[in-house]
């Protein structure tokens, strides 16, 4: 019961994590404009992995996609690739883990096969979560670097006495969604790997016990007087008397009281 609960909980947590990774990849708020010490507040800029948007104070929002591939920064393309790989691995692992659930019986599938499928899906969940966390962290590091470079360039004129207006970007909501989703996927994968150990059938080791058959087989018949032979025609017949089982030689060597009558 505990194995089934651990496997099911790991599947649900991983499912939520994969859904969060997909949502974070599609969101536009990967980087948002820093409004601190910014005199221009009528326009708010934010950017995502696929397009950049501008929202005006009137509520009108205009977005424009990135229509170039070679003109984009290499780090942005790397983040795209990591997120896509995480989504693909997560989708495959979800499909595998559905058939690996212990509560679902498909044909005559053995527990050992389900254990292998559970372990495979758990490892793929872990890799998917690591890809998402790595992609979000790389993008966050790029934002921090650009932020401090923009801050340093703001006070270059007149020996730092004149401040120039530059657009600086800070962390967007998509980054936090990606971190949480990647962590949930990672935790779900670990739980699936733990549940795999409980699905493996235990191997029982039996101690070898030597059995020696008796030298004579005596078959007792309820209405008979004689017994069956042992292992072959050379074995001596046995007769059942009131005192027990004796061979014919023993009967002849020990005469009874009826022999003198």
**What pLDDT band is residue 189 in, cutting at 50, 70 and 90?**
very high
Q: Is the pLDDT of residue 23 over 70?
A: yes
Asked whether residue 205 is domain-assigned, the answer is no
Q: Is the pLDDT of residue 46 over 50?
A: yes
> Which residue would you say has higher pLDDT here, 182 or 240?
182
Mean pLDDT, to the nearest integer, of 222-241? Answer: 47
Task: For residue 233, give both structure tokens.
Answer: 């025609």
Asked whether residue 114 is domain-assigned, the answer is yes
Asked whether residue 17 is domain-assigned, the answer is yes
Q: Which of 68-72, 87-91, 179-183, 237-241 has the lowest mean pLDDT?
A: 237-241
Phi first, then psi: what are they for 18, rounded to 5°?
A: -65, -40
> Which residue would you say has higher pLDDT here, 51 or 152?
51
Q: Is the pLDDT of residue 78 over 50?
A: yes
pTM: 0.69
Count of structural domains within the chain = 1
CATH number of the domain to which 138 belongs: 1.20.140.150
Asked whether residue 92 is domain-assigned, the answer is yes
Q: Which domain holds residue 191?
A: 1-30+69-153+167-198
Asked whether residue 240 is domain-assigned, the answer is no
Give the pLDDT confidence score for residue 30 in this predicted structure.
93
């Amino acid at each position: 019961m505990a194995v089934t609960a651990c496997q099911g909980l790991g599947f649900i947590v991983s499912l939520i994590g994969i859904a969060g990774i997909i949502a974070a990849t599609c969101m536009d708020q990967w980087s948002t404009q820093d409004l601190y010490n910014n005199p221009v507040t009528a326009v708010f800029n934010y950017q995502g992995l696929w397009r950049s948007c501008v929202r005006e104070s009137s509520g009108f929002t205009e977005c424009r996609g990135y229509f170039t591939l070679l003109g984009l920064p290499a780090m942005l393309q790397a983040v795209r690739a990591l997120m896509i790989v995480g989504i693909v691995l997560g989708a495959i692992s979800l499909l595998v883990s559905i058939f690996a659930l212990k509560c679902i019986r498909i044909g005559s599938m053995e527990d050992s096969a389900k254990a292998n499928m559970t372990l495979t899906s758990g490892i793929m969940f872990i890799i998917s979560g690591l890809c998402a966390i790595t992609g979000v962290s790389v993008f966050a590091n790029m934002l921090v670097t650009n932020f401090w470079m923009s801050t340093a360039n703001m006070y270059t004129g007149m020996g730092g006495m004149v401040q120039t207006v530059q657009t600086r970007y800070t962390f967007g909501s998509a980054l936090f969604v990606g971190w949480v989703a990647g962590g949930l996927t990672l935790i779900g994968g670990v739980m699936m790997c733990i549940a795999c150990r409980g699905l493996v059938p235990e191997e029982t080791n039996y101690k070898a016990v030597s059995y020696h058959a008796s030298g004579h087989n005596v078959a007792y018949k309820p209405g008979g007087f004689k017994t069956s032979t042992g292992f072959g025609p050379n074995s001596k017949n046995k007769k059942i008397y009131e005192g027990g089982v004796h061979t014919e030689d023993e009967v002849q060597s020990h005469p009874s009281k009826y022999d003198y009558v």
